Structure 1
Amino acid sequence: MPALTDPSDHGPSIQWPLPPQEPADSLHQGRPLRLGVMASGEGSNFEALVNAARAGGLAAEMALLVVNNRGCGAQVRAERLGVPCRLLDHREQPSREALDRALIEAFRQAAVDLVVMAGWMRIVTPTLIQAFPDRLVNIHPSLLPSFRGMDAVGQALAAGVKLSGCTVHLVSEAVDAGRILVQAAVPVLPGDSHAQLAARIRRQEHRILPLGVRLAARDLDRALGVEGQ
């Protein structure tokens, strides 16, 4: 596996798979992918997607960001980056299913191709998953299938593992159990705090999330091609 070095990293990371050989602009039937993004917090992964698209590493346009916390960092970033943003506060919805139905409507109105959960801190229901089969992507701060669910970084530290990392995967009805698209591993260093390990993992999240979206789009195109034939 390839070791990727970064001046800000305290040691190499390992990523697999490598980016596809075809150019990014050949994906999704030769046109830019329309992305919908869901975020609850600071939105650094959302900005990584925007940067990848604008730098040419991801043939995509940000059709819509949806946040569930008013004034969160992701919303502030969207305003700065000029990306359409909509607030759907889960506190104002009668149920998880109602929130997911509102998400579906918002993304359908924006004509998105893929939906990315980039730090969405709510459990989604089958309502949303079934509306976007194989088109709902999530990033999780562990090497799945290890340390599913909440506080994966804390789980890794408590377990005493020597490697942690992050995973981009398709969303299934079982939590953090969908098909894995790409992973990156980082070392857990002696004396690591929660914040130190989380920051090291987050740097790799920014690298692999655009790749995971490319791979999901490529697989979707292949599936559509087979159906067309």
Structure 2
Amino acid sequence: MTLLSVEGIRSGYGSLQVLSEVSLEVAEGEAVAILGPNGAGKSTLLRTISGLITPTAGAISFDGHDLLAMPAHRIPHAGLVQVPEARHIFPSLSVRENLLVGGTPLPTRAAREAALDDIWRIFPMLVTKRDAPAGTLSGGQQQMVAIGRALMSRPRLVMLDEPSLGLAPLVVRELYEVLRGLVQSGLTLLLVEQDVPVALSLVSRAYVVENGSIALSGTASELRESDHVRQAYLGI
């Protein structure tokens, strides 16, 4: 079943159009990547889906609901959340407080506490840091907080914007193992990533965005064998 549908989106900033006629689909339980160079429009696409940017044309639906008719602050309540590039945690709040912010869509305190227990199981490294200011954590730990905050609302689809950015290779591998486990548990992911080999190791399909448009799409194995992807993104 198609969970997220983006059709013919045009979007940008003021008079600057970044995206032109972008369309994509994500099925429930699927992991999909959006690949492409810096400035291609990948983050703009996620911000448009999240309601942070209003497109000038096109349609976006999530689980049959028109996202363009929904205020941005209500979209997480519908089950779609985003982990922004550079994490954007609250550095002076504790790890626990940062996570509880993500639980706002849940109806009761008991539900938020239950979700918090799940995050401690997913990221056990954060347990000893629960009362520490989030700004004192390492980059990898802060990324765990950002992802945990998104998971707190028990979403159906999580959009991640450059989760490997600025992290050491070992930390990236550990983080992607967690993401792989989440996908195997049934979570739907839409992933923006510049590290193409890492992204293709996780997802089943991907779209390549270049100059604000979809230049190529296919399964992960098809894109690994694509001459264009091999030359432009894999250095082969």
TM-score class, shorter: 0.3 to 0.5
Bigger fraction of residues in strand = 2
Q: Which has the higher contact order (CA 8 A, sep 6+)?
A: 2
- TM-score norm. by structure 1 comes to 0.34
